[in-house]
Amino acid sequence: MLEGREIKVEIFDINHAGEGVGRDEGKVVFVPGTVPGELVAVRLTEVHKNYVCGIPLEIISISENRQTPACAVSNNCGGCRLQHITYEEQLRLKTGLVRQNLARIGGADGALVKPIIGMADPWHYRNNVRLKVQRRNGRVLLGFYEQESHRLTIVDSNEEQPCLLAHRELNEVAISARRLMEKSGAQAALPEEVTLRRGSTGEIMVVMIAENGKNKELTGLAEGLILIPGVASVIEYQRPVTKKGYGRYKRLSGAEFIIDEIDGLKFKISAGSFYQVNPVQTAVLYQIALGYCGLQGQEEVADAYCGVGTITLYAARKAGMVRGYEVVPGAVQDARANADLNGIKNASFYQGPAEKVLPRHIAAGFRPSVILLDPPRSGCRPEVLEAAANSCARRIVYVSCDPATLARDVKRLSELGYELAEAQPVDMFPHTSHVETVVRIERK
């Protein structure tokens, strides 16, 4: 098989990146922009030992699940890799991805995976967008990089093509911010990147990253940004001096944080803290996680990778006491403030890597009956899983944003005396290839 060769491939699935999957001469073929069920003419662009990649030249037979993307730039923008597939089919494929991963990598029964819970309205759901800023031909552009390149996709700013995933108010703020930057003149310093975050209270935070060494020059821009309707906080992010350190967040105008509210709980969110991006589905996700915990009111619970203490405080309302573990110092401060804000007294938070702090607590005699795990995409470090098993917790509830690392960790846990009982995927990211899953794991 050679690069440049043209082949015909029948697509039968998608992979974790949303690319169509086919097979040729015993090798797996990945083809972006295709739909399972289609016969496609493909030019091979990369040939590896076990797989090949190609670009579609012609869709010879078109799937009934193909649709015209609603967004004009979706083919170039890296954000939405599944817009060419109907939403119903996206959901079916995502459920399939979770089943396959848990069965193949996790050694579990794929039938334990329930069909994914989708959104009634899968558009404009994101409360957080990260936009690159660029000056081109006398104009200022705010947008996303083209797939795997450093050109801005939304070439004529998002006034003509607003992002269909971002909350409408964030798109409006992006337009106002772009106009403000353009008005400030060709010599004025621009941020390299702007992140917009919105709480369900309607408060919007603008976080700017300056080009190296140009931090001071953003102060004037901040004074204009805070006047945009909805903007409650303007923050500047200063990159860390060393690779290992954390950057610094500095308030330029307005409040230090914004407030979000879910299921009667209020959450203070600072610029550096992780927060779920789809508020409608977050409420669904957390209710499932809480239901899987099966709390009766007296239990001790551990919540590793707790962020600003969201799931921790959900659990605290139903448990005897909860300990949250989180590595980012600012998020731990937010989590403690959130416990106070909600009058919750039975939650405590510990700052540090979960793989160090949780094993220490278990070794010191902490015996949670339920352990919540919600790690980043890389999944849990083995020390966390071993500590969970050493605690003899009767149940582990794992919230995952990557089915492959989830499956790997389910396998490790099965070697440590636990077994998968149920899995519920939730579509937190419609039109993208990302899949979120909550699983209930029981002690054997």
Ligand X SMILES: C[S@@+](CC[C@H](N)C(=O)[O-])C[C@H]1O[C@@H](n2cnc3c(N)ncnc32)[C@H](O)[C@@H]1O
Sign of CA dihedral 34, 37, 43, 49: positive
Token pair of 159 as six digits: 């006034």
Catalytic residue flag (residue 71): no
Please, which residue, 83 or 312, has the CB nearer to ligand X? Answer: 312
Rounded-to-integer distance, Cα 349 and Cα 319, Å? 15
Measure the CA angle with vertex 170, ends 167 and 171; round to 5°: 90
Residues that bind ligand X (CB under 6 A): 274-276, 305-307, 310-311, 325-328, 331, 353-355, 374-376
Under DSSP, is residue 302 helix (H, G, I), strand (E, B) or coil? strand
Rounded-to-integer distance, Cα 371 and Cα 358, Å? 11
Rounded-to-integer distance, Cα 310 and Cα 323, Å? 12
For 188-207, the DSSP string reads S--EEEEEEEE-TTS-EEEE
The answer on whether 296 is annotated among ligand-binding residues is no
Under DSSP, is residue 275 helix (H, G, I), strand (E, B) or coil? coil
Please, which residue, 328 or 421, has the CB nearer to ligand X? Answer: 328
Please, which residue, 184 or 287, has the CB nearer to ligand X? Answer: 287
Token pair of 383 as six digits: 């020390």
The answer on whether 305 is annotated among ligand-binding residues is yes
Rounded-to-integer distance, Cα 9 and Cα 424, Å? 32
Neighbours of 414 (CB within 10 A): 16
- CB-nearest residue to ligand X: 307
Rounded-to-integer distance, Cα 164 and Cα 171, Å? 9
The answer on whether 314 is annotated among ligand-binding residues is no
Token pair of 154 as six digits: 């939304």
CA 104 vs. chain centroid, Å, equals 24
Please, which residue, 354 or 407, has the CB nearer to ligand X? Answer: 354
The answer on whether 326 is annotated among ligand-binding residues is yes
Please, which residue, 216 or 377, has the CB nearer to ligand X? Answer: 377
Residue type, 254: G
Helix, strand, coil: what percent of the chain each, to 5? 25, 35, 40
What CA–CA distances, in Å, run from 394 to 6, 291, 437? Answer: 54, 15, 20
Residue 282: CB minimum distance to ligand X, A: 7
Residue 429: CB minimum distance to ligand X, A: 13
Residue 10: CB minimum distance to ligand X, A: 36
Please, which residue, 250 or 356, has the CB nearer to ligand X? Answer: 356
Residue 164: CB minimum distance to ligand X, A: 24
Please, which residue, 171 or 405, has the CB nearer to ligand X? Answer: 405
- What does DSSP assign to residue 116? P
Residue 285: CB minimum distance to ligand X, A: 8
Please, which residue, 233 or 400, has the CB nearer to ligand X? Answer: 400
Rounded-to-integer distance, Cα 265 and Cα 263, Å? 6
Do the Cβ atoms of 289 and 313 come closer than 8 Å? no
> Of 77, 80, 293, 401, which is the active-site residue?
401
Token pair of 176 as six digits: 């106002």
Do the Cβ atoms of 130 and 154 come closer than 8 Å? no
Residue 304: CB minimum distance to ligand X, A: 6
Residue 356: CB minimum distance to ligand X, A: 8
Residue with tokens 């603008």: 206
List all residues 6 or more positions away from 17 whose beta carbon is below 8 Å from its beta carbon: 30, 32, 81, 433
Which residue positions form the known binding site? 276, 305, 326, 374
- Binding site for S-adenosyl-L-methionine: residue ranges? 276, 305, 326, 374
Active site residues: 401
